[in-house]
A and B are shown apart, each in its own frame.
Chain A
Amino acid sequence: MSRKLPQVTRRTLDDIARDAGASEEERVAAPEPPPAGAPEPSSADSIAAPDVRRVQALALVDRFTAWSAIGGAVPLPLLDLASIAALQVQLVRRLAALYERPFSGEAVRGTLLAASAAALSAGGGNLAGMLLARSLPWGQLLNMWVSSGLAAATTQAIGRAYVLHFESGGTALDLDPATLAEHYRRALAERGSAEKGRA
């Protein structure tokens, strides 16, 4: 058959994205993990209902949790901690954009640091032990496994804490580090129970 068939569609993907008011960034079919400091897409014309937004937020937390687990498996102590910290700040940035709340990287880094210190001082023996084990040559393999799970658990705790905080009207600038530390402790305790159950 050699006859010329007419056009199937007059709208391209870009036309549809434009009609929907999507930004250039959002037209990418399969978004990669965002680089730290990437500009936020506009959500001014979002039609997300509250339930949909919460689901989007929790899906975002799940995705960053998965990336953190990968980051935690990097066997280079400083590199993995830096990449996980950057991912966690980026997660809060994305959640703040989703909930249309003001964001400051500096403020969030301060909150995360204060919460980590509080969690460590109040029973973060597992975390301290893990950090110590890094220096031992035999600890590397075990360490990759432990720190991957730990990174995932803390990222998930941060994500869930900020989702709850934003849902109740808070902003990225006013989350109490003590509240976040409580989420850390719960996440670490849950992880500990899960490991015992598996053993």
Chain B
Amino acid sequence: MGAVIAVATLKGGSGKSTVAGCLAVHWQLQGRTPALLDADPQRSLLRLAERERRLGGVAVSAPTGGPLGEEARRLAAAQGLAIVDTPGFENEQTRAAIAAADLVILPVKASPLDVDVMGDTMETLFRLRGGERPGFRCLLTQTTRDSVIARHVRGELAAAGFPLLRAELTSRVIYAEAALFGATPSLLQPRGAAAAEIAALAAELDALLPTLGAAPARKRR
């Protein structure tokens, strides 16, 4: 057993691959063995893993062509945790990843267009049921620190009943710089502000996963 986290939204550019990669690298640095399953046809994570820092040695793979959900669960069972980066549109792979997940993270930027599409993603998530549905949380990404718009969007989403993570990933140059090295902020500037935000997000998810019935990610032996 192990947990499957799907990072999904039907809109491109919302930070799915960044969220998936940053979480996996953070947990790897913590001594765990997360697996990244790159189901996004852009293959951003696989491309990063080919660069100098190789995403800190995280195991990244592309779907083998079999049922994606089963593959994700097999990886989770073997590695303790599988994180699936999904396509930025609705297709069979997106649906399979959502169906297999213990937790779906929906990254959303503080913009009305992103919020609208997040609603569409949730509609897909609600329809993909039949007795069982994964837990899900929205995550504000690429926000401007201490901005009125970020606070406004957070307040509005909370008031409308959307389950938001407390953690937030603010827009920082370090993400682009780290990508040049095939790294994430946790690898390049482990004491930096971006790494601290990623750590806060990971800690929040660590506390959340067991409440969803998912086994906590295990440490390397």
Contact = CB atoms under 8 A, between A and B. Distances in A.
B73 interface: yes
B135 A30 contact: yes
Given A21-B127, A59-B100, A59-B132, A29 B69 contact: no
B41 interface: no
A185 interface: no
Contacts, number: 150
Contacts of B134: 59
B215 A66 contact: yes
Interface stretch (B8-16, B155-163, B177-185): B155-163
Interface residues of B, number: 49
Contacts of B214: 63, 66
Interface string B116-130: 100100111011111
A48 B135 contact: no
B27 interface: no
A33 B102 CA distance: 13
Contact of B1 (A41, A55, A62): A62
Interface of A: 1, 5, 7-9, 11-14, 16-17, 19-22, 26-27, 29-33, 40-41, 43, 45-49, 51-56, 58-60, 62-67, 94-95, 97-98, 100
Nearest to B211: A30
A62 B157 CA distance: 32
B208 interface: yes
Which 8 pairs, one residue from A and one from B, show the smallest C-beta to C-beta distance? A55-B69, A20-B126, A13-B161, A30-B135, A29-B163, A46-B130, A63-B213, A97-B131
A33 B132 CA distance: 11
Interface of B: 1, 4, 67, 69-70, 73, 77, 92, 95-96, 99-102, 112, 115-116, 119, 122-124, 126-137, 148-149, 152-153, 156-157, 160-163, 208, 211-215
Contacts of B208: 30
Contacts of B157: 8-9
Contacts of A62: 1, 73, 77
A8 B131 contact: no
Contact of B70 (A7, A14, A58): A58
Q: Which secondary structure dominates chain A's binding surface?
A: helix
Contacts of B115: 8-9
A20 B132 CA distance: 15
Contacts of B4: 59
B73 A60 contact: no
Given A41-B131, A48-B99, A16 B126 contact: yes
14 contacts: A1-B148, A8-B115, A9-B116, A9-B160, A16-B119, A20-B126, A22-B127, A26-B129, A26-B133, A58-B69, A59-B4, A59-B100, A66-B213, A98-B130
Nearest to A21: B127
A9 B119 contact: yes
Contacts of B149: 5
B132 A51 contact: no
Contacts of B133: 22, 26, 31
Contacts of B101: 59
A45 B127 contact: yes
A56 B119 contact: no
B160 to A, nearest CB: 4
A65 B214 CA distance: 10
